[in-house]
Amino acid sequence: MSHLKPRAVDLFCGAGGLSQGLRQAGFNVIGAVENDELACEAYRLNQPDVALWERDIRRLSAKQCLRQLELKKGQLELLAACPPCQGFSTMRTKNGLRKNRDRGNDLIFEVLRFVRSMLPLTVMIENVPGLARNQRFEKFRNGLCELGYEVKHRVLNVADYGVPQSRRRLVLLASKCSQPSFAKKAFRLRTVRDAIKHLTATRNSRDPLHGYKASHSAKVVKLIRRIPKNGGSRSALGASRQLRCHKSFDGFRDVYGRMAWDRPAPTITSGCINPSKGRFLHPTANRAITLREAALLQTFPRRYKFPHSRGRYPIALLIGNALPPEFIKRHAMSLRKDILKVLSRSQTNL
């Protein structure tokens, strides 16, 4: 192994946001697991050299993965994962009032199974904040401690770590090297302007994720034109000019709201190209943000590829479910420093 490239495996890799962040942090991502066909297609477009197991992780042997990667137990430097999190979200649990029976919640123990079989030097887990309040998370943490890991976790806002978007996420770092440490906060917040202002107008773009015409109805287009520029809300229209469905419903106040140029964007979700799903209108153009703009607000590279043969909404789902690579990169760099110290000491003792 090159001393500059610690190896990593990405479980539940999705379209590749976590892997992209790890690569940018200086890791060599050598293996990944994902069950969704379209996510795997996107992953292969951007990470063609990674061994990708396209299957249900519950039917995958961690020892088999080690053999295929030509590694022995204890040789992997980082195991990273973001198990499906919908079951822990505030929306799904009605703010914790409804007992959550989502079978996918137990997938976090598949991560623990891989940790037991692989014994990586470090572990990184990313998920929704609601997981931290679930007894499964405590059991998972205890399992790592029993294996000899030093464990820390925090709920962080990605906007504090170079992502032009407000998004609270739970991050767990575990290490056999030393006490793991989180990245330092950025000196300044990145904004919508920083992320997408440089893009050409959609009508002049050849990018299939940007140069397309929004399919809003005439009625919706008329409404959008009335929303004040640069952060305006539908509430500025008054009751008489709002859609009928909005007059009798006071929830989700960001619906048909505009982003503001000089603030971070709201959380980019799977509905990010639909103005009826949140504050997803462009700051000044009379349309929702494009798929490319959404990907940039998630900090994917400008030329990151997404398969578009199935239409725009499946891509929006991939982008909205992805981890912001910049956020992952910064915390992975902190782990990498500790890893390199251990590797350097071990080489000195040889």
Question: Strand pairing partners for 53?
Answer: 33
Strands of 122-127's sheet in order across: 51-54, 28-34, 7-11, 78-81, 122-127, 168-175, 150-157
Contacts of 245 (CB under 8 A, 6+ apart): none
Respond yes or no: is residue 85 known to be catalytic. Answer: yes
Is the alpha carbon torsion for 12, 13, 19, 21 positive or negative? negative
Contact 12, 82 (CB under 8 A): yes
| Helices then strands, each counted (H, E), the chain | 12, 7
From the list 13, 40, 85, 177, the catalytic residue is 85
b/e code 253-274 from CB counts within 10 Å (16+ = b):
ebbbbbbbbebbbbbbbbbbbb
Cα maximum dimension of the chain: 78
DSSP assigned state of 184: P
Residue pair 28/331 in contact by the 8 Å Cβ criterion: no
Report the C-alpha gap between 227 and 205 in whole angstroms.
Answer: 25
Q: Could you tell me which residues come within 8 angstroms of residue 83 by beta carbon, excluding any fewer than 6 positions away?
A: 11, 12, 104, 107, 108, 110, 111, 125, 127
- Which positions are catalytic? 85
